[in-house]
């Protein structure tokens, strides 16, 4: 099987690719899915649960753009695969309904190390950006006969290290 390089950027109109505005939510495959496009074969989504194969030139051209950097307006205007905007919208709707695509917001400041956490929430079917934005609070209570002599310090440090405090 041969890999094909795909330029996943939509031309801005003058033939040069342009990045999407950072603050605009953009359709993207859920973070726990890894997308690969094979020219003439289709698009494949890999996850811990298995592989989803999507066939056809239209999905190939659209899948290459669903990386969270192209807002909906640019996707519709870019006419991937020569599709009319209505076709792009219909295909996106099918992907959203199937739970494969979500609207991803781009934070103003990158959050290093958070991608795994966001992928976890995506895999759970929860809005990853909303879950990650919430502050977690944990209350630690020692229970049992020996609870009086237990030093909860190690657990408290582990929880604080995980961002829960």
Domains and CATH numbers, the chain: 26-107 (3.90.930.60), 135-161 (no CATH)
**pLDDT average, residue stretch 107-136:** 72
**pLDDT average, residue stretch 130-155:** 72
Among 35-39, 58-62, 75-79, 156-160, the least confident range: 156-160
Q: What percent of the chain has pLDDT over 90?
A: 44
pTM (predicted TM-score): 0.64
Label residue 11 by pLDDT band (50, 70, 90): very low
Q: Tell how strand 101-104 and strand 42-47 pair up.
A: unpaired
b/e sequence 37-71, b meaning 16+ C-beta within 10 Å = beeeebbbbebeeeeeebeeebbbbbbbbbbbbbb
Label residue 134 by pLDDT band (50, 70, 90): confident
């Amino acid at each position: 099987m041969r890999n094909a390089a795909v330029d996943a950027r939509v031309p801005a109109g003058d033939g040069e690719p342009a990045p999407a505005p950072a603050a605009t939510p953009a359709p993207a495959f859920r973070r726990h899915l890894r997308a690969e496009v094979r020219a003439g074969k289709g698009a494949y989504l890999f996850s811990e649960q298995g592989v989803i194969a999507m066939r056809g030139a239209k999905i190939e051209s659209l899948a290459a753009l669903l990386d969270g950097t192209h807002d909906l307006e640019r996707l519709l205007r870019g006419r991937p695969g020569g599709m009319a905007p209505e076709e792009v919208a219909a295909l996106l709707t099918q992907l959203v309904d199937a739970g494969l695509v979500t609207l991803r917001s781009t934070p103003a400041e990158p959050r290093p190390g958070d991608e795994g956490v966001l992928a976890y929430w995506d895999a759970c079917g929860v809005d990853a950006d909303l879950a990650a934005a919430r502050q977690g609070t944990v209350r630690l209570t020692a229970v049992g006969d020996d609870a009086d002599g237990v030093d909860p310090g190690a657990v408290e440090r582990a929880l604080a290290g995980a961002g829960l405090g």
